[in-house]
Structure 1
Amino acid sequence: MYYFQESLSYIKDSVVNYVDIDYSLWITWFLAPLIITFLLPGIIGLFLYLSAFILYIYKLHWNTIKRTLQTGDKWDTARKTVGALWDAHGWIWHDYEINGIENLPKDGPALLIYYHGAIPVDIYYFIVKVLFAKNRLVHTVADHFLFKVPGFSVLAECMRVIPGTVQTCSNLLKDGNILAISPGGVYEAQFSLHYNLMWKKRLGFAKVALDAKVPIIPMFTENLREAFRTVSFGRRLFLRLYALLKFPIAPIYGGFPVKMITHLGKPIPYDENLTPEQLQTKVSLAIEDLIKKHQRIPGNILYALLDRIPQFRKEKSKNT
């Protein structure tokens, strides 16, 4: 006991005599923003796993819940429970809203084509907003690697997320559903700068729309890349690694509580005379028009935070 107390006394004296407390506080203050910006993206991952945990509990206890709720769709109540969590998160953290929700059909199919952010939190918020406002579930297409992530499968089953081939997507639309696709996918999420579309020659969504004979609704979320960003240094290295591994490598930072508004453009009607290449061009121009109209370029995190102030947004609208 005596030696233990002596050891504590020695450590205390060493800290007092040899460590500059003011310097330590300065280092903490200096590094805090860096630590926070790289840790906050982990909150989204934690939130996803929380959602998966709730859904696993719901799935395991489905028989009991079914007898209680007397409903035919085992995921309906769970979907809205998880949706309430995401809706609350979007409202509190990003003051999230949708502009142009009237462009979505009350019933019948539609294909949503959207710009992919570093972390597509906007599509999570959008799905639950539409679920509560229209009582319609937006099916989505996700990259194949996500289905190998532990916990994602139950989320995909509940929220109707699919890997997505041309035929499966077309069949979904022919059954009268709403489907959302980001042609840029993970590549656009990792390497897009200043909201530029990175679709390459991906024509799958255009072939789906033409085969299913459905309208396309362009979609873009304002300030999406001010909420989460990928690091700008080492871009060439990350591009090479992505080309080799087909897996997102570039580090993501952020989690900033910026104002986010999803803008839905006017539906682009089905036109049998258009080729997939022509339709891709038409849709990309529609999304680029939404970006030019609603997004400050280059993006600015401070201004995106100020967008949460209604008066600031009015001044921004006047300037644009």
Structure 2
Amino acid sequence: PAMPAAGLAAALADLLLPDPGTLSYLSWLYYLYLPAITCLLLPYLVVLFLYFSLLWLQLWKWRHRLAESYQYSIWRGAIHTALGFWATFGRLWHGYEVSGLHRLPSNGPALLIVYHGVFPLDVYFLVARLVLETDRQPFIVADNFLWKVPGFALLLRVMNVTPGTVETCADALRQGRVVIIMPGGLREALFADPFYSIEWSRRTGFARVAISAGA
């Protein structure tokens, strides 16, 4: 005999809609494992975004037939596109926001002292917001080992990343640049904690930069 319409609807509902108890259990599993999944995926996402940025810059270089010129005006379009991805990643994955960026001068020198976490994602996201919102490319001081990472040389040059010395940083400030320094460096990265405890030890180079530049 033909199944009544009401019975057919009930059968379809049972087939397509899981039991509420099952949904609750699946939700519980999701929230239970979400932190672990996030922690496992994050390093791979960071590496993926870094090499995506590198690939994009390399394609830009080939497309525009650039040699060894790394002026911001030449690379501006490529930089803004790559940093747009980083800004979106920071906002969606971490809810990252920058407060007080309007206080940065539209021109003239500025020295930003930044915390160095295990993954310095704060720096990536800060640079992205800074460049996109102020159209100023910062002078970024980073460790020498980054230049030994395969394929990173182009990315570092285009993004104006340098090992830096007190004098080169002071010169950048005198030229009216925005300089970003992470005094804690690798030590702070190794001993970082969720409370952003500062591990600068006796590293006072950033202060000598400010004094040398006449700040």
2:205 maps to amino acid: G
1:83 maps to amino acid: L
Q: Deviations over 1:195-236 (max 9, x none)?
A: 21111111111111100123xxxxxxxxxxxxxxxxxxxxxx
Greater strand content: 1
Partner residue, 1:236: none
2:64 maps to amino acid: W
Kindly state the Cα deviation for residue 34 of structure 1 after the two structures are TM-superposed.
4.4
Partner residue, 2:10: none
Q: How many residue pairs align between the two structures?
A: 181
Counterpart Cα distance in 2 of 1:124 and 1:184 = 16
Kindly state the Cα deviation for residue 31 of structure 1 after the two structures are TM-superposed.
8.1
Partner residue, 2:15: none
Q: Counterparts in 2 of 1:40-51, with a 5 A limit?
A: 40-51=42-53
Partner residue, 1:53: 55
Kept in 2: contact 1:115–1:197 (CA 8 A): yes
Counterpart Cα distance in 1 of 2:72 and 2:106 = 22
2:200 maps to amino acid: W
Deviates more, 1:192-201 or 1:108-117: 192-201
Partner residue, 1:244: none
Kindly state the Cα deviation for residue 149 of structure 1 after the two structures are TM-superposed.
0.4
Q: 1:209 to 1:72 in 2, by over 3 A?
A: closer
Query: Which stretches in structure 1 are left out of the alignment for 5+ residues?
Result: 1-27, 65-70, 215-320
Q: Counterparts in 2 of 1:44-123, with a 5 A limit?
A: 44-63=46-65, 73-123=73-123
Q: Does 1:148 align with 2:148?
A: yes
1:87 maps to amino acid: A
Counterpart Cα distance in 1 of 2:196 and 2:76 = 35
Q: Counterparts in 2 of 1:83-232, with a 5 A limit?
A: 83-193=83-193, 194-214=195-215
Q: Identity of aligned pairs, percent? A: 41
SS for the counterpart of 2:203 is coil
Kept in 1: contact 2:72–2:158 (CA 8 A): no
Counterpart Cα distance in 1 of 2:131 and 2:201 = 32
Kindly state the Cα deviation for residue 85 of structure 1 after the two structures are TM-superposed.
1.1
Q: 1:174 to 1:33 in 2, by over 3 A?
A: closer
Kept in 1: contact 2:72–2:137 (CA 8 A): no
SS for the counterpart of 1:213 is coil
Kindly state the Cα deviation for residue 61 of structure 1 after the two structures are TM-superposed.
1.9
Counterpart Cα distance in 2 of 1:208 and 1:32 = 43
Query: Which stretches in structure 2 are left out of the alignment for 5+ residues?
Result: 1-28
SS for the counterpart of 1:99 is coil
Q: TM-score, normalised by structure 1?
A: 0.52
The Cα RMSD (Å) is 2.3
Q: 1:162 to 1:35 in 2, by over 3 A?
A: same
Q: 1:150 to 1:107 in 2, by over 3 A?
A: same
SS for the counterpart of 1:179 is strand
Kept in 2: contact 1:62–1:74 (CA 8 A): no
Q: TM-score, normalised by structure 2?
A: 0.77
Counterpart Cα distance in 1 of 2:63 and 2:136 = 25
Counterpart Cα distance in 2 of 1:80 and 1:61 = 16
